[in-house]
Amino acid sequence: MNWARTAAIVFLLVVSAACLLANFIAPAPYAHQFRDEPDAAPSRQHLLGTDDLGRDRFSRVLYGTRVSLLLAPAAALLSSLLAAFIGGIAGFAGGRVERCVMAGTDLFLSLPWLFLLITVRALLPLNVSPIVSVLITFAMLGCLGWAGAARIICADARSLSRSDFILLARASGSNGFRLFWRHLVPNLKPVLYAQFWISVPVFILTEANLGILGLGVAEPLPSWGSLLRELEGFSTISGQAWQLVPLVLFILVVSSFHLVLTKEELAI
């Protein structure tokens, strides 16, 4: 499977580069409405046609991919760090601390997160720019998405804390924060790494779900969520295959994130 992993990494790098260079590649501003050409078919001016408001779809795909591809890993990093901190401490401390923290984690997992996101978003201030809104959306995803990973990290930390090298470190006089930071955390890295890569597509999907509900990134900033909303209603697709490009790109990127992980990491 090495060739697939390599291909996935190359694909992700190409897509990332294209997004980062969107300002130079995009033929039109993502928000500009060409009102005389709504729903236009692909042409030399508009490579992927225009959306229902006449905005250049290719430009929107580039900028939308940039938004989702930059911010989903950021949210994944935030949730992985929170999971490492909460799960690591619980697993390392064990006993009552672990039971209390894990009970809290279970409670968090049982919350209907989609409704929670909708509620939290409704409480936020209204007058924020689209950029701030997208940052808030992904920050919320990062802050709310740690619980599942925390359980896995807690189990790993518990197992590690009973291992021989930790016993040896304890016997050598190492304890408390030093034991946690110098001996336990480095050994949690593989599982943290796996959790990070798994979280990235999950957050992309979550933002897409919020977008489909109309609660994702604020207009006119594009994201994969808002791009996928164009496909609402299966009958819209017929005869306009170019509308499927964001979906194909989305599937390829999410699949590539999974292929980036090695067998060992996936086994974790």
Interface with other proteins (CB under 8 A): 31-33, 35, 38, 52-54, 118-119, 121-122, 126-130, 213-215, 218-220, 229, 232-236
Give the nearest distance from C-beta 223 to other proteins in angstroms.
13
Residue closer to other proteins (CB basis): 27 or 214: 214
Structure tokens given for 28: 């039109």
Give the nearest distance from C-beta 195 to other proteins in angstroms.
30
Q: Residues of 70-95 as b/e, b for ≥16 C-beta within 10 angstroms? A: ebbbbbbebbbebbbebbbbbbbbee
Give the nearest distance from C-beta 212 to other proteins in angstroms.
9
Residue closer to other proteins (CB basis): 104 or 130: 130
Give the nearest distance from C-beta 53 to other proteins in angstroms.
6
Residue closer to other proteins (CB basis): 38 or 104: 38
Give the nearest distance from C-beta 228 to other proteins in angstroms.
13
Residue closer to other proteins (CB basis): 33 or 45: 33
Residue closer to other proteins (CB basis): 20 or 53: 53
